Chain A
C-alpha cells in the first residue's frame, strides 16, 4: 500500500502579492527617506561648520584690516621714520622736473630734450639730510 503523501494534503498559503509589493515599496521609500534624511543632516552639519568657518574668517579679516589700517596710518609711518632716523621733506621747487605731454607723437618732443646733466643740477639738495 502506497504511503500517503502528507505534503500533497497540506493547503498552500496564498502569498498576497500586492501586500508584499506594498511592504517592499514602503520599505524602499523608508530607506530612501532615511538616506535622504541622513544626507540632509550631514549637509546641515557641513553648512553649520562652514558658517562658523566663514564667521571666523570674517572676524579675522576685520582684525587684519584694523591692524593694516593702523600700520598704514600717517602717525605710525611718522613714528617709524623717526625710529629709523629718517627725515622726509617735500621736494623744493628746483627739485621737481615737470614732464608734460604736448600731444605730439614724436617721443623726442614729449619730454624735456635737454641733457639729463643739465636738468639734474649738481647742487640739488639732499632730501634725507
Chain B
C-alpha cells in the first residue's frame, strides 16, 4: 500500500532537484548564449594567449673554407624582481646578497628599486649569460624571475670590428655589415594565438593562429679571418713599433674586387660597442680621406702614358730637386738633375710628376682621375664610405695639376687608392670592391651570390702592362719600395709620404706613410694598401709601410697558395732606354 506522506516527500525532493537543474541550465544558457557580454569579453581576454616568437638574427660568416662564425645571436636572460612579492617574503637582504654573488650590480641602487613596494617589476640585471642564469634559477629566490632574451655575440672580439659593425639594444644593426644587411639578417618574427587553461598554461590544441618565425639569413663575407688576423697582427706590431696614431690596410683580389682583409686601427670590441669612442669606430679604410702623396703619381703617369704624351724613356729636367713654378717652389726628397719617366716613378720625383701633369693638361688629367674613381665612391657594400675630394675642373688654379700630381690638394680613401693600383694590375679595369660574397637563407636557399663587376676602364691593357713593369722597378734596388719585396716574387707598388695638413698648413712633423702595390707583378693576384698615420720617428712610406706590406704579402701568398709566375713573360727590369728629348 502506498504511503501518501512518502509520495509527497519524493515529489518535494524531485521538485527541488528539478528547480536546481533548471537554475543551472538557465545559468549555463545565460553564460554561454550572451546577456553578460562584458563578462564574456573579460573571460575571453584572460584566456587568450598571444606570443610573438623571437627570431634569431642571421649569422655573419667569413670567406675561409671553414666559414668561421664572425657574429651570431646567443640566448641570455633578463633578471627581474617583483618587489611586492620579495618584501612579503621577508628575505630581501638575503636575496640581494645571493643575487650580488652571481650578478654584477650596484647594491644601493638595486636595494632602492626593491623597496618600491607599489611596483611589481624592477630589472636587476640584463643580458645575463645562460650558465649564470641556470645557477640563479636553482636558488629559487622569492620574487625573482627571468625572461628570455638574446644578444649579438662576436666570438672574434675586436677582429674585423669595422666591417661587422654592431647591433643596438633593439636588435637593429647600427654599423658595418650589420647595418647594411639588416633586411636579410633580421628575419621575421613568428606569432602564436592560443588559449590558456586554469593553470595559465597554453592549450596547444586550442591554437587559433600559428605563424612560424623566419630565421634571418646568413651573410658570407669575402674576408678570410685567417688572413685578416695576419694583417691585424702585423699592423698592430708595426703601429707599436712606429708609434703611429692610426693605421689601416686592405687586401683585394685583383681580378674580382673581393676584399680579403680590411683593417683599421684604433679598433673596438663590438661586444661592448657602447664604450667605444668615435675614433675607434671610424673605419679609416673607407671613411677617412687623406692626401695620398706620392702614391698618387701612379694615376697621373698612367694617364700620360695612355695618352701617348710620354714614354718610359722620356727625359725630364728635375731641376736638381728645386723648381720654381708659378712663383711657388716645388722640392724633391732626393735631388736629381734629370730623370726619365720610369725613374720619376722609381725615385718618386715630385718635380718630374708635376711636369708630366702639366704636359697632360688639366682637362685630361681631371677626366682620367674621375675615370679612376677619384672624387666618387667605389660603391663598396659598407655604410659610411667617403668619395674623397677632387675639385671640379673650373676651380683648379694654375698650380693645381702640378700639386695634384704629387698627391696634394686631392683627398682619397685607402680603398680608392688601392682601386687605382688594382685597375693597373687588372689590365686597366676598375673592379667594384665587395665584401658580401653570398647571402644564404635559413633553408639553404642562396638569396644572393655576388659576381665581379667592372665599373670603368681608364687605361688600355698595354698601358696597364707598361705601368706594371714600371711599378715593379719601384721595388727593385734603388727604388723607394725595396723593403716591400717578397722572396721569390716580383712586387709592384708605390710608396707615399704625405705631409698632413694641420691648421691649414702642411706639417713638417706629421706624415701619412703609405705603400700600395700588388703581386706577382707579372700576373697580379692580390693588391694591398698599408697606411700609417703620423708614424714616429721614421715617417716615410718606404721605411714604415713597405716593410709591413712585404711582411703581410709574404704570408698572404703562402696562405692563398699564390705561386710565383714561371714561364710568363718577364716584367722588364733594369735601365729603361732613354729618349733624346728632355722636358
The answer to whether A74 and B229 touch across the interface, beta carbons within 8 angstroms, is: yes
- Picked from A45, A65, A73, the residue with its CB within 8 Å of the CB of B72 is A65
- Picked from B56, B153, B159, B205, the residue with its CB within 8 Å of the CB of A73 is B159
Given A68-B69, A93-B488, list of 7 further CB < 8 A pairs? A44-B204, A63-B130, A66-B72, A66-B155, A69-B156, A73-B155, A75-B159
A62 within 8 A of B: yes
Neighbouring A residues of B73 by C-beta, 8 Å: 62
B499 within 8 A of A: no
Interface string of A58-96 (1 = CB under 8 A from B): 110011011011101111001000000000001101000
B510 within 8 A of A: no
The answer to whether A69 and B205 touch across the interface, beta carbons within 8 angstroms, is: no
Which chain A residue shows the least CB distance to B558?
A: A90
Neighbouring B residues of A68 by C-beta, 8 Å: 69
Given contacts A47-B204, A74-B226, A93-B487, contact A66 B68 (CB under 8 A): no
- Picked from B69, B159, B204, B226, the residue with its CB within 8 Å of the CB of A66 is B69
Give Cα distance in the complex from A74 to B228, angstroms. Answer: 9
The answer to whether A75 and B229 touch across the interface, beta carbons within 8 angstroms, is: yes
Give residues of chain A (37-70) contacting chain B, Cβ–Cβ below 8 Å: 40-41, 43-45, 47-48, 58-59, 62-63, 65-66, 68-70
Given contacts A48-B202, A62-B75, contact A75 B156 (CB under 8 A): yes
Given contacts A62-B75, A65-B69, A90-B558, contact A74 B225 (CB under 8 A): yes
The answer to whether B229 and A78 touch across the interface, beta carbons within 8 angstroms, is: yes
The answer to whether B68 and A73 touch across the interface, beta carbons within 8 angstroms, is: yes
Neighbouring A residues of B74 by C-beta, 8 Å: 59, 62-63, 66
Neighbouring A residues of B226 by C-beta, 8 Å: 74
The answer to whether B558 and A91 touch across the interface, beta carbons within 8 angstroms, is: yes
B117 within 8 A of A: no
Neighbouring A residues of B202 by C-beta, 8 Å: 48
B78 within 8 A of A: no
Which chain B residue shows the least CB distance to A90?
A: B558
The answer to whether A72 and B66 touch across the interface, beta carbons within 8 angstroms, is: yes
A60: shortest Cβ distance to chain B, in Å?
A: 8
Leading 4 A-B pairs by shortest Cβ distance: A44-B204, A74-B229, A69-B155, A69-B69
B555 within 8 A of A: yes
Q: Could you write out 9 A-B pairs with CB less than 8 Å apart? A: A41-B203, A48-B201, A58-B56, A59-B75, A65-B69, A65-B72, A73-B156, A73-B225, A75-B156
Judged by DSSP, the binding face of A is helix
Neighbouring A residues of B201 by C-beta, 8 Å: 48
B157 within 8 A of A: yes
Give Cα distance in the complex from A70 to B158, angstroms. Answer: 12
Give Cα distance in the complex from A43 to B203, angstroms. Answer: 10
Give Cα distance in the complex from A93 to B554, angstroms. Answer: 11
Interface centre among A48, A62, A70 (most CB of B within 10 A): A62
B349: shortest Cβ distance to chain A, in Å?
A: 35
Give Cα distance in the complex from A105 to B130, angstroms. Answer: 58
B352: shortest Cβ distance to chain A, in Å?
A: 36
B63: shortest Cβ distance to chain A, in Å?
A: 14
- Give the interface of B toward A (CB within 8 A): 56, 66, 68-70, 72-75, 130, 153, 155-157, 159, 201-206, 225-226, 228-230, 233, 487-488, 554-555, 558-559
Neighbouring A residues of B68 by C-beta, 8 Å: 69, 72-73
Give Cα distance in the complex from A68 to B72, angstroms. Answer: 12
Neighbouring A residues of B155 by C-beta, 8 Å: 66, 69-70, 73
Give Cα distance in the complex from A43 to B204, angstroms. Answer: 8
The answer to whether B554 and A90 touch across the interface, beta carbons within 8 angstroms, is: yes
Give Cα distance in the complex from A62 to B225, angstroms. Answer: 20
Which chain A residue shows the least CB distance to B487?
A: A93
Neighbouring A residues of B203 by C-beta, 8 Å: 41, 44
Which chain A residue shows the least CB distance to B203?
A: A44
Give Cα distance in the complex from A120 to B544, angstroms. Answer: 38
Give residues of chain A (91-107) contacting chain B, Cβ–Cβ below 8 Å: 91, 93
A129: shortest Cβ distance to chain B, in Å?
A: 18
Give Cα distance in the complex from A65 to B155, angstroms. Answer: 10
Neighbouring A residues of B229 by C-beta, 8 Å: 73-75, 78
The answer to whether B56 and A62 touch across the interface, beta carbons within 8 angstroms, is: yes
Neighbouring B residues of A63 by C-beta, 8 Å: 74-75, 130
The answer to whether B205 and A40 touch across the interface, beta carbons within 8 angstroms, is: yes
Give Cα distance in the complex from A68 to B69, angstroms. Answer: 9
Neighbouring B residues of A78 by C-beta, 8 Å: 229, 233
Give Cα distance in the complex from A75 to B487, angstroms. Answer: 26
Give Cα distance in the complex from A43 to B202, angstroms. Answer: 13
B11: shortest Cβ distance to chain A, in Å?
A: 20
Neighbouring B residues of A74 by C-beta, 8 Å: 159, 225-226, 228-230
Neighbouring A residues of B225 by C-beta, 8 Å: 73-74
The answer to whether B554 and A59 touch across the interface, beta carbons within 8 angstroms, is: no
Interface centre among B130, B228, B487 (most CB of A within 10 A): B130
B484: shortest Cβ distance to chain A, in Å?
A: 17
Given contacts A43-B205, A65-B69, A75-B159, contact A90 B555 (CB under 8 A): yes
Given contacts A43-B205, A44-B205, A69-B68, contact A75 B157 (CB under 8 A): yes
